[in-house]
Amino acid sequence: MEAVSTSWCKPILSVLPSFLVAVSACAQMSFEAQRNALADEIERDVRETRSYTGRSRLDAAVMDAIRTVPRHDFVPAEFRDFAYVNRPLPIGDGQTISQPYIVALMTDLAEVGPGSTVLEVGTGSGYQAAVLAEIVDHVYTIEIIGALGRGAAATLERLGYDNVTVRIGDGYLGWPEHAPFDAIVVTAAPDAVPPPLIEQLKVGGKLVVPVGPVGRGQSLQVLEKTPDGDITTTDVLPVRFVPLTRD
C-alpha cells in the first residue's frame, strides 16, 4: 500500500527534475535492465540507511526476487514507464504500490525462506505478495478494497503465482484458518499492533508492521514471538504508510 522511508526519501514532487531524468533514462532500457538497475540502487540505499536498520546488505534471495518480479505488471498502464523508479506510485482507490526499497527491506526483515508460510495484510497491487512468493512456500494475502484485491488476484494468476491466495476482507483480524504463520507482513499502518496478528504468529516468527497514526510519525517495527510467549519489539526506521482500515 504505501511506503516511503521518511528518514531519507523525499516526495516525488520535491525531486521532480531528477525523477523525470531517471524516467527518461529508464525508457531506453529493457524491463530486465531496469530491474537490475533498481536492485543496484536499492543495495546502495540499504548501505546508506544501515545506521537505522542495522543492515548493510539484504539477503540474496530478496534481491533475486526484486530482480525477477515484473513490477511494471503491477502498476496502472499510465505509470508503466515509471515502474522501476525507486518511488511509490498510485494504483487507484487512494492507495499506492510501495517504494521498492521498502518492499525489499520488509521482505528481508521477515526472515523467511523455502517452506515458510506468510500472511500479508494489505494486498494492494499484489507486488509485495509476488516478491514474497519468489522466496516462500505460500503467501496468504488480505485486501479490504474489493477492486484492488480482485485486480491483484488476476495479475498474480496471469503471471503464474499459484502459491499466492488472495482474500477480500478485514486484515486486522488476520486469517486464523491458516495460522500460525512463519511471518506476517503488514503494508498499512495501524495505530497499534492488532492483537489477532500477534496471536497468529508462530513462536520465533516475525511480524513486520508500520505503526502509528497518519501525519504524526510512524515507525516500521519488527515483533518476534519468543518461546515463552513474550513479544520483543524492534523499531527499524521512520516511515509513512496509508492507514490500516477496517470494515
* Structural Rg of the chain based on CA atoms: 17
> Is 121 strand, coil or helix?
strand
Residue 219's DSSP bridge partners are 211, 238
220: cell is 516500521
d(CA 205, CA 231): 10
Catalytic residue at 116? no
Given the residues 5, 98, 116, 125, select the one marked as catalytic: 98
What is the DSSP code (8-state) at residue 94?
T
Could you tell me the maximum CA-CA distance found in the chain, to the nearest angstrom? 55
CA distance to 99, 117, 131, per residue, from 161 (Å): 21, 14, 10
Catalytically annotated residues: 98
